[in-house]
Amino acid sequence: MTAAADQSQPLVSGRKSKSGLLRTEIMQGLALISPTFLYAFILLVLPIVVVLAHSFWTQHYLTVDRTFTLANYRAALGEPMYRDLLWRSLRISLVVSGLTVFFAYPIAYYISFYGGRRKGLWLFLITIPFWTSYLLRIMSWKVILGYNGVLNSALMGLGILHEPSPALLYNSSAVVITLTHAWAAFAVLPIFVALEKVDRTLIEAAADLGDGPLRAFLRVTLPLSVPGIVSALLIVMIPTVGDFVTPKLVGGKDGMMIANAIQVQFGRAANWPLGAALSVTTMIVVSLMAGAAVFLIRTVARLAR
């Protein structure tokens, strides 16, 4: 989604770049962007630095002891509870991002290659549910999967079940289903953008050289759309690790994720340094996982070619 801003080239060519003119150009550009930059800096970069600092401190009730310590990280990485939560969060976000990309690829492909003049309409149709409240989308899954919910009553009506199954809701599968649905549109867009850039003549060339449709897809289209797959994977994986609403509403005890533990530290438990250390750990670990996933996909793509 950041593509539009990234690719825009400033329209300054064709003008004689006398150094004075260039300097005013630079000054004007910087002056224009500085309010937004400062806002993002003060409300994003500084707070993250504050979180980082807190993760090395200790809290005694309401006072914060600022002596450097790694105790919070020892707790975050060492205590089985946090380790399990972190591990589960990573597993869930990996599965969710994998599934969303897997299901999104064909639809992005369909829109890009078969969408014709209705591409815009298709994209609009796909993205509209994404603009509705996240909370409401999770709630609708609660309604579907609940004990007295849609799926149970439907299965009973069809005679498949004789009594409602409690197994549908409050586990990690419910979390995976809900997140996969919630992030679907996010995965379609980057893949679509990548597929739009695939040079159609290359596919024709592959066909002329004797590749069947499937082979041409595997050897030309798929490898060329790898950047889209990678960014779709990341754009789903990184935010889903930090979700605490879905686990709280549909996850039950077995579906809790690391963000629930972070929320508790900033709420009831009121141990900000530990919460900060958990947040930093989560960010680092998910970045490592994302990096590994990207590396793996790129390697496979290179080998396949």
Taking CB under 8 A as the criterion, which residues in 256-275 touch other proteins?
259, 262-263, 266, 272, 275
Single residue of 76, 90, 229, 241 touching other proteins by CB under 8 A: 241
**Residue 242 near residue 85 (C-beta atoms within 8 A):** no
Single residue of 95, 187, 232, 249 touching other proteins by CB under 8 A: 249
- Report the alpha-carbon distance of residue 24 to residue 56 in Å, rounded: 44
Work out whether 176 is an interface residue with other proteins (CB under 8 A).
Answer: no
Interface pattern 39-68 for other proteins (x via CB under 8 A)? xxx-xxxxxx-xx--x--------------
- Least spacing, CB of residue 298 vs other proteins, in Å: 19
Single residue of 129, 223, 227, 252 touching other proteins by CB under 8 A: 129
- Least spacing, CB of residue 232 vs other proteins, in Å: 12
- Least spacing, CB of residue 36 vs other proteins, in Å: 4
Number of C-beta neighbours around residue 74 at 10 A: 11
Work out whether 170 is an interface residue with other proteins (CB under 8 A).
Answer: no
Give the binding range for other proteins (CB under 8 A) out of 70-78, 165-173, 281-289, 291-299.
281-289
Work out whether 192 is an interface residue with other proteins (CB under 8 A).
Answer: yes
- Least spacing, CB of residue 41 vs other proteins, in Å: 7
Give the binding range for other proteins (CB under 8 A) out of 69-77, 107-115, 168-176, 295-303.
107-115
Using a 10 angstrom Cβ sphere, with 0-12 exposed, 13-18 middle and 19 or more buried, the burial of residue 201 is exposed
Single residue of 111, 232, 277, 289 touching other proteins by CB under 8 A: 111
Single residue of 146, 228, 247, 251 touching other proteins by CB under 8 A: 146
- Least spacing, CB of residue 270 vs other proteins, in Å: 10
Single residue of 28, 66, 166, 300 touching other proteins by CB under 8 A: 28
Single residue of 83, 110, 271, 301 touching other proteins by CB under 8 A: 110
**Phi-psi sector, 60: left (phi>0), alpha (psi -120 to 50), beta:** beta
Give the binding range for other proteins (CB under 8 A) out of 71-79, 144-152, 166-174, 294-302.
144-152
- Report the alpha-carbon distance of residue 252 to residue 174 in Å, rounded: 9
Encode 170-195: b = buried (16+ Cβ within 10 Å), e = exposed: bbbbbbbbbbbbbbbbbbbbbbbbbb
- Least spacing, CB of residue 86 vs other proteins, in Å: 13
Q: What is the C-alpha R_g of the chain?
A: 24
Residues in binding contact with other proteins, number by CB under 8 A: 107
